[in-house]
């Protein structure tokens, strides 16, 4: 099978199973099997796949059709122009979460050596992106679950100004030894427990612990609100669900909401008037 034939086969198989982004997904899976760039694959005419590559590719297409998210099949995904390891134990980095990074860069502009905390860090995409983009910063990332922590540790390798800490923010935060920060960030679980069963097949393959925000979806915001006075000398910014703006504005008086790349309410910013 040539690379061009493989791409076409993948595209047709994915499309006929109702996957909307079939041409791109087929190409991304072929990239991950061959290790070649998309542009090289698109230009290749008669290049043959090895027998092993063809088998891998067919297996990956079948996995995708079974509902496994492409970001777990490739094992890597891009966030804010950087690649992060992904696996079933951690939430997949999403484009709308880039808004938290945009806000952080804007807010921290001109501050020397800012201290940043990222709670419920998962893959670490938020905090590690900031650690790389602000070399003078020190970034503390907290994650509770073993599997997610392993992925976080892999992503944090070589990022010298990042410190990863295993811990539960709903338990005793003081025991984690975090310093005061200039910016507290979090993309906590925020979906109502009752809404979890109705999520998209792909989302249901993500860890429920990264999605389930309790009965009203607000459990983690209540914990974050309690944490702010002891840890935060600057602002706090949290990702939230598009329908949670009202509840959160009530919970955090004087805060404001930001909209994501899709035009939905996605981030709550609190405490911008603190130093």
Distances 167 to 144, 146, 149 between C-alpha atoms, Å = 5, 10, 10
Could you tell me the smallest distance in angstroms from the CB atom of residue 244 to ligand GLN? 10
Would you say 104 or 191 has its CB closer to ligand GLN?
191
Stretch that binds ligand GLN, among 4-12, 69-77, 153-161, 183-191 (CB under 6 A): 183-191
How far apart CA 258 and CA 205 sit, in angstroms, is 28
Asked if 75 and 32 touch (Cβ cutoff 8 Å), the reply is yes
Residue among 190, 221, 238, 252 that touches ligand GLN (CB under 6 A):
190
The string of DSSP codes covering 33-77 is HH---HHHHHH-SSPBPPHHHHHHHHHHHHHHHTT--HHHHHSEE
Would you say 151 or 191 has its CB closer to ligand GLN?
191
Could you tell me the smallest distance in angstroms from the CB atom of residue 71 to ligand GLN? 12
**211 is a contact residue toward ligand GLN (CB under 6 A):** yes
3-state secondary structure (DSSP) of residue 256 = strand
**189 is a contact residue toward ligand GLN (CB under 6 A):** yes
Could you tell me the smallest distance in angstroms from the CB atom of residue 269 to ligand GLN? 17
**86 is a contact residue toward ligand GLN (CB under 6 A):** no
**224 is a contact residue toward ligand GLN (CB under 6 A):** no
Asked if 240 and 251 touch (Cβ cutoff 8 Å), the reply is no
């Amino acid at each position: 099978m040539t690379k061009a034939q493989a791409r076409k086969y993948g595209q047709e198989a994915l499309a006929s199973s109702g996957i909307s982004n079939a041409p791109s997904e087929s190409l991304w899976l072929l990239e991950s099997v061959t290790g070649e760039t998309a542009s090289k694959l698109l230009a290749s005419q008669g290049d043959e796949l090895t027998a092993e590559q063809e088998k891998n590719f067919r297996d990956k297409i079948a996995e995708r059709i079974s509902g496994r998210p492409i970001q777990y099949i490739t094992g890597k995904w891009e966030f804010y122009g950087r690649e992060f390891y992904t696996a079933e134990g951690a939430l997949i980095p999403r484009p709308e979460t880039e808004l938290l990074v945009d806000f952080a860069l804007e807010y921290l502009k001109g501050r020397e050596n800012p201290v940043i905390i990222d709670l419920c860090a998962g893959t670490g995409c938020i905090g590690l992106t900031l650690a790389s983009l602000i070399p003078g910063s020190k970034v503390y990332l907290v994650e509770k679950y073993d599997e997610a922590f392993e992925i976080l540790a892999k992503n944090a390798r070589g990022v010298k100004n990042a410190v990863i800490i295993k811990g539960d923010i709903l338990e005793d935060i003081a025991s984690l030894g975090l310093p005061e920060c200039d910016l507290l960030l979090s993309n906590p679980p925020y979906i109502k427990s009752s809404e979890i069963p109705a999520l998209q097949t792909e989302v249901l393959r993500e860890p429920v612990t990264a999605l389930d925000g309790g009965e009203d979806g607000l459990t983690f915001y209540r914990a974050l609100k309690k944490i702010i006075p002891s840890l935060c000398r600057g602002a706090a910014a949290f990702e939230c669900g598009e329908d949670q703006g009202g509840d959160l504005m009530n919970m955090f008086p004087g805060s404001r909401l930001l909209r994501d790349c899709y035009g939905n309410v996605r981030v709550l910013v609190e405490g911008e008037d603190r130093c």
